[in-house]
Amino acid sequence: MTGSAVVMTELKDLRGLVDRAAQSLADARTSAEILDAREMAGIAYDVAKRVARLRRAKDAHDALISAAHRAQAHALEIESKAKHRLADEYDGAQQRGEIQRHGGDRVSKVSAENLAPTVSDMGLTRKEVHDARVIRDAENKQPGIVRRALDARLEHGEEPTRTALRKMVTVAAMRGLRPQRSPSRRNPLYVPPTSEQAAWQHVTGTFRSFAEWASEANLALARAGMLEAQNVPFHDLDVRAIAQGSAVFITIKEWFDA
Protein backbone atom coordinates (compact mmCIF):
# COMPACT_ATOMS: atom_id res chain seq x y z
CA MET A 1 0.00 0.00 0.00
CA THR A 2 1.39 3.42 -0.98
CA GLY A 3 1.92 6.23 1.52
CA SER A 4 -1.05 8.21 0.17
CA ALA A 5 -3.29 5.13 0.39
CA VAL A 6 -2.28 4.65 4.03
CA VAL A 7 -3.16 8.26 4.78
CA MET A 8 -6.56 7.99 3.10
CA THR A 9 -7.30 4.81 5.07
CA GLU A 10 -6.32 6.56 8.28
CA LEU A 11 -8.62 9.49 7.51
CA LYS A 12 -11.50 7.20 6.54
CA ASP A 13 -11.17 5.24 9.80
CA LEU A 14 -10.94 8.51 11.69
CA ARG A 15 -14.13 9.86 10.12
CA GLY A 16 -15.89 6.62 11.07
CA LEU A 17 -14.72 7.01 14.67
CA VAL A 18 -15.95 10.61 14.83
CA ASP A 19 -19.29 9.65 13.27
CA ARG A 20 -19.79 6.88 15.83
CA ALA A 21 -19.11 9.32 18.66
CA ALA A 22 -21.65 11.78 17.23
CA GLN A 23 -24.29 9.06 16.88
CA SER A 24 -23.57 7.80 20.38
CA LEU A 25 -24.21 11.26 21.81
CA ALA A 26 -27.36 11.70 19.73
CA ASP A 27 -28.70 8.39 21.09
CA ALA A 28 -27.61 9.01 24.71
CA ARG A 29 -30.45 9.24 27.21
CA THR A 30 -28.67 8.74 30.56
CA SER A 31 -25.65 10.30 32.25
CA ALA A 32 -23.74 7.06 31.77
CA GLU A 33 -24.48 7.05 28.03
CA ILE A 34 -23.44 10.71 27.74
CA LEU A 35 -20.19 9.84 29.52
CA ASP A 36 -19.60 7.02 27.03
CA ALA A 37 -20.16 9.41 24.13
CA ARG A 38 -17.76 11.90 25.68
CA GLU A 39 -15.13 9.17 26.02
CA MET A 40 -15.63 8.13 22.38
CA ALA A 41 -15.23 11.74 21.25
CA GLY A 42 -12.11 12.05 23.39
CA ILE A 43 -10.61 8.97 21.75
CA ALA A 44 -11.43 10.35 18.31
CA TYR A 45 -9.77 13.65 19.28
CA ASP A 46 -6.61 11.87 20.44
CA VAL A 47 -6.44 9.77 17.27
CA ALA A 48 -6.95 12.79 15.02
CA LYS A 49 -4.29 14.71 16.90
CA ARG A 50 -1.82 11.85 16.49
CA VAL A 51 -2.61 11.44 12.78
CA ALA A 52 -2.10 15.17 12.14
CA ARG A 53 1.24 15.22 13.93
CA LEU A 54 2.49 12.08 12.21
CA ARG A 55 1.52 13.49 8.83
CA ARG A 56 3.27 16.77 9.65
CA ALA A 57 6.40 14.93 10.75
CA LYS A 58 6.40 13.10 7.41
CA ASP A 59 5.92 16.37 5.47
CA ALA A 60 2.53 15.30 4.20
CA HIS A 61 0.49 17.57 1.94
CA ASP A 62 -1.23 20.45 3.75
CA ALA A 63 -4.63 19.15 2.62
CA LEU A 64 -4.10 15.88 4.52
CA ILE A 65 -3.06 17.67 7.70
CA SER A 66 -6.04 20.00 7.30
CA ALA A 67 -8.38 17.00 6.99
CA ALA A 68 -7.02 15.54 10.22
CA HIS A 69 -7.44 18.90 11.93
CA ARG A 70 -11.07 19.09 10.78
CA ALA A 71 -11.71 15.65 12.27
CA GLN A 72 -10.00 16.80 15.44
CA ALA A 73 -12.25 19.86 15.59
CA HIS A 74 -15.37 17.80 14.99
CA ALA A 75 -14.39 15.42 17.80
CA LEU A 76 -13.84 18.40 20.10
CA GLU A 77 -17.26 19.78 19.20
CA ILE A 78 -18.93 16.45 20.05
CA GLU A 79 -16.97 16.25 23.29
CA SER A 80 -18.06 19.81 24.16
CA LYS A 81 -21.71 18.97 23.52
CA ALA A 82 -21.38 15.94 25.79
CA LYS A 83 -19.84 18.15 28.49
CA HIS A 84 -22.71 20.62 28.08
CA ARG A 85 -25.24 17.87 28.68
CA LEU A 86 -23.26 16.43 31.59
CA ALA A 87 -23.18 19.84 33.29
CA ASP A 88 -26.96 20.10 32.96
CA GLU A 89 -27.44 16.53 34.20
CA TYR A 90 -25.16 17.06 37.18
CA ASP A 91 -26.64 20.40 38.24
CA GLY A 92 -30.15 19.06 37.83
CA ALA A 93 -29.36 16.04 40.00
CA GLN A 94 -27.90 18.32 42.68
CA GLN A 95 -30.99 20.50 42.67
CA ARG A 96 -33.16 17.42 43.11
CA GLY A 97 -30.99 16.23 45.98
CA GLU A 98 -29.91 13.13 44.08
CA ILE A 99 -26.21 14.00 44.31
CA GLN A 100 -24.33 15.40 47.26
CA ARG A 101 -23.55 19.07 47.27
CA HIS A 102 -21.62 21.22 49.72
CA GLY A 103 -23.14 20.76 53.17
CA GLY A 104 -24.61 17.31 52.49
CA ASP A 105 -27.71 16.01 50.75
CA ARG A 106 -31.44 15.73 51.21
CA VAL A 107 -31.95 12.00 50.76
CA SER A 108 -30.00 10.57 53.70
CA LYS A 109 -32.11 8.72 56.23
CA VAL A 110 -29.50 9.38 58.91
CA SER A 111 -28.85 13.09 59.36
CA ALA A 112 -25.19 12.61 60.26
CA GLU A 113 -24.46 10.63 57.10
CA ASN A 114 -24.34 11.46 53.40
CA LEU A 115 -25.88 8.56 51.52
CA ALA A 116 -26.54 10.27 48.22
CA PRO A 117 -24.07 9.58 45.36
CA THR A 118 -21.04 11.83 45.05
CA VAL A 119 -19.44 13.33 41.94
CA SER A 120 -17.02 10.38 41.78
CA ASP A 121 -19.95 7.96 41.83
CA MET A 122 -20.98 9.48 38.49
CA GLY A 123 -17.56 8.74 37.04
CA LEU A 124 -16.52 12.40 37.10
CA THR A 125 -14.01 14.55 38.95
CA ARG A 126 -14.69 18.01 40.30
CA LYS A 127 -12.35 19.45 37.64
CA GLU A 128 -14.34 17.72 34.90
CA VAL A 129 -17.57 19.13 36.30
CA HIS A 130 -16.00 22.61 36.38
CA ASP A 131 -14.78 22.30 32.78
CA ALA A 132 -18.21 21.05 31.68
CA ARG A 133 -19.86 24.06 33.31
CA VAL A 134 -17.45 26.45 31.58
CA ILE A 135 -18.44 25.03 28.18
CA ARG A 136 -22.14 24.99 29.07
CA ASP A 137 -22.18 28.54 30.42
CA ALA A 138 -20.26 29.88 27.40
CA GLU A 139 -22.68 28.18 24.99
CA ASN A 140 -25.69 29.46 26.92
CA LYS A 141 -24.34 33.00 26.78
CA GLN A 142 -23.29 32.87 23.13
CA PRO A 143 -24.87 29.91 21.29
CA GLY A 144 -22.55 28.39 18.71
CA ILE A 145 -19.42 29.77 20.35
CA VAL A 146 -17.63 26.40 20.37
CA ARG A 147 -18.15 25.88 16.63
CA ARG A 148 -17.06 29.44 15.85
CA ALA A 149 -13.94 29.07 17.99
CA LEU A 150 -13.00 25.84 16.25
CA ASP A 151 -13.65 27.30 12.80
CA ALA A 152 -11.45 30.27 13.68
CA ARG A 153 -8.57 27.91 14.46
CA LEU A 154 -9.08 25.98 11.22
CA GLU A 155 -9.38 29.07 9.07
CA HIS A 156 -6.02 30.31 10.38
CA GLY A 157 -4.28 26.98 9.88
CA GLU A 158 -3.98 26.37 13.61
CA GLU A 159 -4.48 23.05 15.37
CA PRO A 160 -7.80 22.88 17.28
CA THR A 161 -6.78 21.75 20.77
CA ARG A 162 -8.66 21.43 24.06
CA THR A 163 -6.49 24.10 25.68
CA ALA A 164 -7.06 26.58 22.86
CA LEU A 165 -10.80 25.90 22.82
CA ARG A 166 -11.12 26.39 26.59
CA LYS A 167 -9.31 29.73 26.39
CA MET A 168 -11.27 30.94 23.39
CA VAL A 169 -14.74 30.08 24.70
CA THR A 170 -13.95 31.62 28.08
CA VAL A 171 -12.70 34.85 26.55
CA ALA A 172 -15.50 34.91 23.97
CA ALA A 173 -18.16 34.43 26.63
CA MET A 174 -16.84 37.50 28.40
CA ARG A 175 -16.00 39.79 25.49
CA GLY A 176 -17.50 38.29 22.32
CA LEU A 177 -15.59 36.43 19.66
CA ARG A 178 -13.72 38.83 17.33
CA PRO A 179 -14.57 38.20 13.66
CA GLN A 180 -10.97 38.69 12.55
CA ARG A 181 -7.75 37.43 14.14
CA SER A 182 -4.21 38.23 13.17
CA PRO A 183 -1.92 35.31 12.30
CA SER A 184 -0.36 33.65 15.32
CA ARG A 185 2.91 35.30 16.30
CA ARG A 186 3.96 32.16 18.16
CA ASN A 187 4.31 30.19 14.92
CA PRO A 188 6.71 31.85 12.46
CA LEU A 189 6.05 29.04 9.94
CA TYR A 190 2.33 29.77 9.80
CA VAL A 191 0.98 29.88 6.26
CA PRO A 192 -2.54 31.31 5.79
CA PRO A 193 -4.97 29.09 3.89
CA THR A 194 -5.37 29.79 0.20
CA SER A 195 -8.54 31.44 -1.05
CA GLU A 196 -9.68 28.04 -2.29
CA GLN A 197 -9.08 26.36 1.08
CA ALA A 198 -10.82 29.15 2.97
CA ALA A 199 -13.80 28.98 0.61
CA TRP A 200 -14.17 25.22 1.08
CA GLN A 201 -13.89 25.53 4.88
CA HIS A 202 -16.67 28.13 4.74
CA VAL A 203 -18.87 25.74 2.74
CA THR A 204 -18.30 22.76 5.05
CA GLY A 205 -18.79 24.88 8.17
CA THR A 206 -22.10 26.20 6.84
CA PHE A 207 -23.37 22.73 5.95
CA ARG A 208 -22.27 21.26 9.28
CA SER A 209 -23.88 24.02 11.34
CA PHE A 210 -27.18 23.72 9.48
CA ALA A 211 -27.24 19.91 9.70
CA GLU A 212 -26.61 20.01 13.44
CA TRP A 213 -29.32 22.62 13.96
CA ALA A 214 -31.91 20.83 11.81
CA SER A 215 -33.36 18.50 14.43
CA GLU A 216 -36.95 17.30 14.02
CA ALA A 217 -38.08 19.78 16.67
CA ASN A 218 -36.35 22.75 15.03
CA LEU A 219 -37.60 21.80 11.58
CA ALA A 220 -41.15 21.53 12.94
CA LEU A 221 -40.82 25.04 14.38
CA ALA A 222 -39.42 26.30 11.08
CA ARG A 223 -42.33 24.78 9.15
CA ALA A 224 -44.82 26.44 11.51
CA GLY A 225 -42.99 29.72 11.03
CA MET A 226 -43.12 29.29 7.26
CA LEU A 227 -46.90 28.82 7.37
CA GLU A 228 -47.27 31.93 9.50
CA ALA A 229 -44.97 33.93 7.21
CA GLN A 230 -47.11 33.22 4.15
CA ASN A 231 -49.38 36.10 5.18
CA VAL A 232 -46.48 38.44 5.85
CA PRO A 233 -45.06 40.91 3.28
CA PHE A 234 -41.85 39.87 1.52
CA HIS A 235 -42.62 36.16 1.92
CA ASP A 236 -41.72 35.80 -1.77
CA LEU A 237 -38.16 36.87 -0.88
CA ASP A 238 -37.91 33.97 1.59
CA VAL A 239 -39.15 31.54 -1.05
CA ARG A 240 -36.63 32.85 -3.54
CA ALA A 241 -33.78 32.62 -1.02
CA ILE A 242 -34.66 29.00 -0.19
CA ALA A 243 -34.81 28.12 -3.89
CA GLN A 244 -31.43 29.71 -4.54
CA GLY A 245 -29.88 27.98 -1.51
CA SER A 246 -31.35 24.62 -2.54
CA ALA A 247 -29.85 24.99 -6.01
CA VAL A 248 -26.43 25.65 -4.48
CA PHE A 249 -26.77 22.61 -2.19
CA ILE A 250 -27.60 20.43 -5.20
CA THR A 251 -24.64 21.81 -7.17
CA ILE A 252 -22.19 21.01 -4.39
CA LYS A 253 -23.61 17.51 -3.94
CA GLU A 254 -23.12 16.91 -7.66
CA TRP A 255 -19.40 17.60 -7.19
CA PHE A 256 -19.16 14.48 -5.07
CA ASP A 257 -21.32 12.42 -7.41
CA ALA A 258 -19.32 13.40 -10.49
Which tens digit of pLDDT belongs to each residue from 242-254? 888 888 888 988 8
Residue 218 pLDDT greater than 50, yes or no: yes
Instruction: Express each pLDDT in 99-139 by its tens digit.
Output: 766 545 444 444 444 455 666 666 778 888 888 888 998 88
pLDDT digits (tens, 9 = 90+) for 39-54: 999 999 988 888 888 7
Whole-angstrom distance, CA of residue 80 vs CA of residue 21: 12
Grouping H, G, I as helix, E, B as strand and the rest as coil, residue 240 is: helix
Closest by CA to 238, choosing from 250, 227, 251, 252, is: 227
Angstrom distance (rounded) from CA 104 to CA 84: 25
For the ranges 29-33, 58-62, 101-105, 206-210, the one whose mean pLDDT is highest: 29-33
Structure confidence at residue 76 as a pLDDT band (50, 70, 90):
very high
Q: Helix (H, G, I), strand (E, B), or coil: what is residue 59? A: coil
pTM of the model: 0.59
For the chain, which residues make up each domain, given as ranges? 3-213, 216-258
